[in-house]
Amino acid sequence: MQNPPVTKYQPLPKVDLPNRQWPDRTLSAAPIWCSVDLRDGNQALAQPMSVEEKIEYFDMLVGIGFKEIEIGFPSASQIEFDFCRRLIEENRIPDDVSIQILCQCREDLIVRSLEALTGAKNIIFHLYNSTSPRQREYVFQASRSDIIHIATHAVTFLKKAMQPLVVGGSRIRLEYSPESFTSTELDFALEICEAVTDAWQPTPDNKIILNLPATVEYATPNIHADQIEWMCTHLTRRDLTTLSLHTHNDRGTGTAATELGLLAGADRVEGTLFGVGERTGNLDIVTVALNLYTHGIHPGLDLSRINSIREVYERCTRMEIHPRHPYAGDLAFTAFSGSHQDAIKKSWEHQSTEKPWDVLYIPIDPADIGRSYKAIIRINSQSGKGGVAYVLEKEFGYQLPKLLQKELGRLVNDLSDQKGTELTAQDVHELFLESFLIRDGNVALEAFRAIDRSDLITCEADLRLQGSPVTVRGSGNGPIDAFVQALAGTSLPAIEILNYSEHSLGAGAGARAISYIQIKVPTGRTFYGVGSDTNIELASIHAIVSALNRAIA
């Protein structure tokens, strides 16, 4: 890296927009979405999709609800041409879906593209040419007027060449992109867009789509928003124009640039599922759509099956979604931090269907997009008692008392430290069972009987103390008290019951009861024990034995 001062790189200049409006606006509706997965996304793959994979992907995009889908560059290769023909000839395109194709501003490529599109009902013909100063200087050695002529000549030629398709029943709309718009002088971007609009002559029923791409992301999102608002306010036929965004993610702010561009007045968004695209990728439509959803705006796309969408995406593109990717990543809703887990658990307890979603650290209900709650809290050495309790409750139905959560939390952290890895829900469950529910020790209960239920309850219990059989008897105001009194006549330490709670584990006549009992021994230390049985009395007695064994150990 260059030592300060850095002179190798320069920021883009500010936009002269003294009366900018976008900072005070709020989004209230979803834009028009156009998927460019099958063109912009596909061209960025190390192994581009086959025709069969593209067909499967197209069907998925239709199922999600996209009404505009850029299917490729049919004049560029035979596989692109063949894919376009199959979609049309096999009647795979719904009547309410427009297919979009990309084409350079060359007569021969326009003719070839129209051949591929013959028979299609709704077409967006996407023409583009590069407009930035460096493109004009380095690539084309062309003046501004030369660049404008390339674009307008192509539009004029297209209007004439497409007439046989129009007569045949095709509806054709024009999309024009001044490639590298964000690094083009705004006055020139406006000039060429106006010239193209003059050549096309849009109508209220057939608006022109002006796509203003951030082909490479060079500036902060606010500069992008200023550029979009400047164009919106200077276009002379704004009412006949659908203004479209196409951001990339070179600076990692493609989502922010798009959202601010919509605030600035754009009507339409081009992007890909999960951001697949050249370099650091295109805009991720899934993220922007679900961002809208979490603000109470339905995006008009069905993302309720995000796991199956991801499966098709990863299989067809051979790309993997990052574990921390918004919404779709394996760890997108996962908390390992103990304090976060505790906050999630507590806020979840206050959640209800009558109130807006308000679970801490989880901005969207995972169920809305087909995600499981299982991954929300995962356990490692950084986890706390709240996370452990959440896993046992959501996965296995246990409702642990708070002090028991604390005891178990320490054991879980110790085990995670020993293993040096994350613990699965099953690991936590097994540790809970071994430590509290089925713990072996000096005391074993072989039988328990309530032999008198008059004024006081008298019980009799057959025990094994350090392997030796012992029968004890005691009376108290309930089975638990009677059993504690019975134990007083043995060599076991005296115990005091501090806390008791129970609940059913499951439903129906065969459901087991689960009992949690906290005892205190003469040293002042406290221990929890857990017992389970179809009989609630026996569940409580087992819990006392569990706590005793933990105390002795």
Strand ranges (E), 44-121: 68-72, 98-104
Task: State which H helix or E strand residue 344 sits in.
Answer: helix 338-349
Q: Crossing angle for the helix pair 51-64 and 78-89, nearest 10 degrees? A: 50
* Token digits of residue 389: 């309790």
| CA dist 345 → 131, 163, 362, 388, 427 (Å) | 54, 63, 11, 10, 20
CB 461 within 8 A of CB 480: no
SS3 state of residue 390: helix
| 398 Cβ contact partners less than 8 Å away, ≥ 6 residues apart | 392, 432, 505, 514
* End-to-end C-alpha distance for the chain, whole angstroms: 61
* Token digits of residue 52: 């069969």
The predicted structure's pLDDT at residue 385: 66
The predicted structure's pLDDT at residue 349: 81
**Cα angle: 268, vertex 272, 277; to 5 degrees:** 120
| 538 Cβ contact partners less than 8 Å away, ≥ 6 residues apart | 448, 531
Domains and CATH numbers, the chain: 30-317 (3.20.20.70), 338-418 (no CATH), 443-552 (3.30.160.270)
**Cα angle: 347, vertex 352, 354; to 5 degrees:** 135
The predicted structure's pLDDT at residue 384: 60
The predicted structure's pLDDT at residue 509: 67
Q: How do the pLDDT tens digits run along the chain, 553 residues long? A: 999 999 999 998 899 999 999 999 999 999 999 999 999 999 999 999 999 999 999 999 999 999 999 999 999 999 999 999 999 999 999 999 999 999 999 999 999 999 999 999 999 999 999 999 999 999 989 999 999 999 999 999 999 999 999 999 999 999 999 999 999 999 999 999 999 999 999 999 999 999 999 999 999 999 999 999 999 999 999 999 999 999 999 999 999 999 999 999 999 999 999 999 999 999 999 999 999 999 999 999 999 999 999 999 999 999 999 989 999 998 888 777 767 777 887 888 888 888 899 988 889 999 999 987 666 655 555 666 677 888 888 888 999 998 898 889 888 888 888 888 878 888 889 999 999 987 678 899 999 998 878 788 999 999 999 889 999 999 999 999 999 999 998 989 999 999 999 999 877 767 889 999 999 999 999 999 999 999 989 999 999 999 999 999 8
Q: How many CA atoms lie within 13 A of 220 on its CB side?
A: 6
CB 195 within 8 A of CB 146: no
Tally of CB atoms within 10 A around 366: 18
Among candidate residues 403, 416, 336, 348, the one with its CA nearest the CA of residue 375: 336
Distance CA 258, CA 248 (A): 9
Q: How many CA atoms lie within 13 A of 63 on its CB side?
A: 13
User: Before 5, cis peptide (omega within 30)?
Assistant: yes
The predicted structure's pLDDT at residue 374: 67
SS3 state of residue 438: coil
CB 303 within 8 A of CB 64: yes
- pTM for the full model? 0.78
CB 518 within 8 A of CB 498: yes
Sign of torsion over alpha carbons 293, 299, 300, 306: negative
